Amino acid sequence: MRKEYNYNKLFVLSEKENDPLESLVRRAAQTMLQEALEHEVEEFLARRPYQRTDAGQAFRGYRNGYAKGRAVTVGSGSLKVKVPRVSDTPEGAEAFASQLVKPYQKRSQTLSELFPKLFIEGLATRDFEPALRSLLGQDAPLSPSTISRLNQQFKQDFAAWRTARLDALEIVYVSVGL
């Protein structure tokens, strides 16, 4: 039987949350992501929790609890998720690996692509962290070393882009006079 979620808990605000809409969206996203991870394991094992493998059906492994809970940062903020684990996969069979939340993934691909855009838009080093925190939420897992490393990488990428040769590109210019 499928676990039923109590959706009423989505509407409860903690003391530090002052925006009910953001809170609702973040909690709903967290619940949906957790359900999607559960469904992903069901698809991999070809059975639901506590359901036995049917006769003639290939054995794919057992559920083995969850990996340590972690925060994954997406556009609506940090979501705490527990990725299900699978053990005892047959030798030679593909091991379970979530396609939604990859191992060691801390943020969505969209956010990873957003960081260079923030830098190119002109955010200085000291403005970089407050902009990210306001965008991702105060509890986003961004250590000072992560900010510094990202900033350094973006400076290098920007310098390479700025000095790239354009003579190999075919560029069409359009001049519109008013």
**Confidence tier at 1 by pLDDT (50, 70, 90):** very low
Number of domains in the chain: 2
Based on the domain organization, do 49 and 97 belong to the same domain? yes
pLDDT at position 121:
62
Element (H, E) at 86: strand 84-87
Q: For the chain, how many residues are written?
A: 178
Give the residue among 28, 45, 26 at the shortest CA–CA distance from 84. 45
pLDDT at position 147:
73
Q: What is the pLDDT of residues 139-149, one digit of tens each?
A: 777 777 877 77
> Where is pLDDT greater, at 76 or 94?
94
Q: What is the DSSP letter of 170?
A: -
Based on the domain organization, do 88 and 127 belong to the same domain? no
pLDDT at position 142:
73
Q: What is the pLDDT of residues 118-164, one digit of tens each?
A: 666 656 555 666 666 666 667 777 777 877 777 787 778 778 877 88
pLDDT at position 68:
92
Output the CA angle 64-66-70, nearest 5 degrees. Answer: 160
Domain residues for 70? 1-106
Is 84 in a helix, a strand, or coil? Answer: strand
pLDDT at 35 over 90: yes
Based on the domain organization, do 131 and 84 belong to the same domain? no
Based on the domain organization, do 91 and 117 belong to the same domain? no
